């Protein structure tokens, strides 16, 4: 089976969030199962040609966009330490210094929606003209969710794409992650309201929603955890898209993300002061906890160390943490926070950290080395998310023998066993968060109970190998659905 991933990010070539981790890791696991995978992403200005050597591949491509023909080039590199080809589409609209624009629009009027509209148009042309026969086009999030519409309208038989099944993975259904824009964006793609019934129905609401279009048109859909697949069919988590998702529930699946077991491996991790495994974890975690305390200026007093490695965003429940900080201090908890994001959230945490340097440490940057040190050196890991499609921190923490305290939503529900590998709380308020942390403190005080929990957490299998098998089944279902619809 031949599969092509089309996405806005792929780690480590171009990464902002968890989407990149999936696109950069899942293909490696699929390859082990005999799946031929290629990846297509934009060629951003931040992609280093020294770090990721690029071969000039195609220059004879042009696409009709914004009422004129636009030429674009294609380069090729390899996913590091693999033979998986990554194709990079180059065009001025895509070559910003960041993966995403830092503001809603540049002075030239270019937005992220228009950038990824162009990328989607160019990617479909590239696949149809240069990739030969393949089976699945795997689109990721709103950035490429318009592709199924483009194929349906513009690539009738005998085009290669007419025979290709379409999979759309929803990594995040939050309102800010849907690619909603003025319906005028359709003109850039030479699409009209009457092109498809779902387009006409969508723009009746006053905008065009790229993610909604993909949900309505793709052959099969999946989210990155089973619980999130169920949640987004409710008004609370799915909002205006819940009704549409319920209509497509028979082709909506939930498959847990995995983590890279080679990178997140306490037995070989070079960021740790000493390495450890499931047999030597007690000594290993103790040494790494002491090193983390020294690095962050905390006392080495035997009290519980809590960690947070997170995007500083409202979604992550950080307002609950802010409300609980004084209580955490009175409970004797030391808290290490690493992340960046909303400036107002950074400012609030920063103020508390400055006033309470012996209790809370805040590092506002992207630092993979410190992140792994927090995973290894912490006793508990806190994730009080408002919603969480999958979450990676709780899985990485388990790998390092760190017990998670999480809100019982989305992927956190699916990956943390309450009282066994972590602690869950249901209500989205600071009292419930504090209650979950208190439960962790009680268990921490009983060495026998705590050791049993740590060993259960380390024993969990969150590898991509497990999830890749489910994706192969998803691809087979997509082919079945596509063939039935196109008999």
Q: What does the chain come to in residues?
A: 487
> For 103, phi and psi rounded to 5 degrees?
-130, 170
Give me the DSSP letters along 405-435.
Answer: EEESSHHHHHH--BTTTEEEE-SSSHHHHHH
Residues of the chain below pLDDT 50: 104-105, 107
**pLDDT tens-digit map of 373-387:** 999 999 999 999 999
pLDDT at 485: 80
Cβ 254 vs Cβ 223: under 8 Å: yes
pLDDT at 123: 98
Whole-number Å distance between alpha carbons of 145 and 181:
13
Helix axis angle, 318-330 to 343-355, nearest 10°: 10
**pLDDT tens-digit map of 423-467:** 999 999 999 999 999 999 999 999 999 999 999 999 999 999 999
pLDDT at 18: 86
Helices (H), 98-232: 112-130, 147-154, 185-188, 197-203, 210-217, 226-231
Q: Superfamily assignment of 2-258+466-485 in CATH?
A: Glycogen Phosphorylase B; (3.40.50.2000)
List the domain boundaries for the chain: 2-258+466-485, 281-462
Q: pTM of the prediction? A: 0.94
**pLDDT tens-digit map of 297-317:** 999 999 999 999 999 999 999
319's CB contacts (< 8 A; 6+ apart) are: none
Whole-number Å distance between alpha carbons of 264 and 371:
11
pLDDT at 145: 98
**pLDDT tens-digit map of 416-425:** 999 999 999 9
pLDDT at 78: 98
- Nearest-Å Rg of the Cα atoms of the chain is 23
Place of tokens 């169920």: 230
pLDDT at 487: 63
pLDDT at 125: 97
Helix-, strand-, coil-residue percentages of the chain, each rounded to 5? 45, 20, 35
> What does the block give as tokens for 363?
């590092």
Whole-number Å distance between alpha carbons of 112 and 185:
11
Angle in degrees, CA 65, 69, 75, rounded to 5: 85
Whole-number Å distance between alpha carbons of 408 and 205:
33
Q: Select from 3.40.50.2000, 3.40.50.970, 3.40.50.1820, 3.30.300.30 the CATH code of 281-462.
A: 3.40.50.2000
3-state secondary structure of 292: helix
pLDDT at 160: 93
pLDDT at 108: 67
What DSSP element (H or E) covers 334? strand 334-338
**pLDDT tens-digit map of 16-25:** 888 999 999 9
pLDDT at 103: 54
């Amino acid at each position: 089976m031949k599969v092509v991933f089309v996405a806005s990010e792929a780690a480590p070539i171009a990464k902002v969030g968890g989407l990149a981790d999936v696109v950069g890791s899942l293909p490696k696991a699929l390859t082990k199962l005999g799946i031929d995978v290629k990846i297509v992403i934009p060629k951003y200005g931040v992609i280093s040609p020294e770090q990721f050597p690029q071969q000039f591949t195609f220059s004879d491509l042009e696409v009709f966009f914004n009422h004129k023909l636009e030429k674009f080039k294609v380069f090729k590199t390899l996913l590091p330490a693999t033979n998986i080809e990554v194709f990079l589409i180059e065009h001025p609209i895509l070559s910003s210094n960041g993966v995403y624009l830092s503001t809603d629009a540049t002075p030239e009027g270019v937005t992220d929606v228009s950038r990824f509209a162009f990328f989607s148009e160019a990617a479909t042309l590239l696949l149809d003209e240069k990739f030969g026969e393949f089976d699945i086009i795997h689109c990721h999030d709103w950035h490429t969710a318009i592709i199924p519409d483009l194929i349906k309208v513009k690539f009738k038989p005998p085009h290669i794409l007419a025979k290709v099944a379409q999979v759309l993975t929803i990594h995040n259904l939050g309102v800010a992650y849907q690619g909603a824009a003025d319906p005028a964006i359709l003109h850039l793609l030479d699409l009209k309201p009457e092109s498809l019934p779902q387009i006409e129905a969508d723009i009746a609401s006053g905008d065009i929603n790229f993610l909604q279009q993909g949900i309505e048109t793709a052959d099969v859909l999946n989210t990155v955890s089973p619980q999130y697949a169920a949640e987004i069919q409710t008004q609370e988590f799915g909002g205006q898209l819940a009704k549409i998702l319920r209509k497509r529930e028979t082709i909506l699946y939930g498959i847990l993300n995995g983590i890279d077991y080679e990178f997140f491996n306490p037995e070989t991790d070079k960021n740790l002061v000493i390495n450890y495994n499931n047999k030597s974890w007690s000594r290993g975690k103790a040494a790494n906890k002491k090193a983390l305390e020294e690095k962050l200026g905390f006392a080495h007093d035997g009290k519980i160390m809590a960690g947070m490695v997170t995007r500083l965003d409202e979604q992550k429940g950080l307002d609950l943490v802010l409300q609980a900080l004084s209580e955490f201090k009175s409970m004797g908890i030391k808290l290490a926070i690493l992340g960046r994001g909303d400036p107002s959230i950074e400012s609030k945490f920063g103020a508390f950290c400055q006033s309470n340097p012996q209790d809370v440490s805040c590092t506002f940057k992207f630092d993979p080395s410190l992140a792994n040190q927090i995973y290894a050196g912490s006793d508990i890991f806190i994730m009080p998310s408002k919603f969480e499609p999958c979450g990676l921190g709780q899985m990485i923490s388990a790998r390092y023998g760190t017990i998670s305290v999480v809100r019982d939503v989305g992927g956190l529900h699916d990956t943390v066993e309450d009282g066994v590998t972590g602690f869950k709380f249901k209500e989205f308020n600071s009292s419930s968060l504090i209650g979950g942390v208190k439960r962790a403190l009680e268990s921490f005080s009983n060495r026998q109970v705590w050791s049993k929990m740590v060993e259960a957490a380390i024993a969990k299998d969150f590898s991509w190998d497990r999830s890749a098998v489910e994706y192969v089944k998803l691809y087979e279902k997509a082919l079945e659905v596509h063939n039935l619809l196109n008999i």
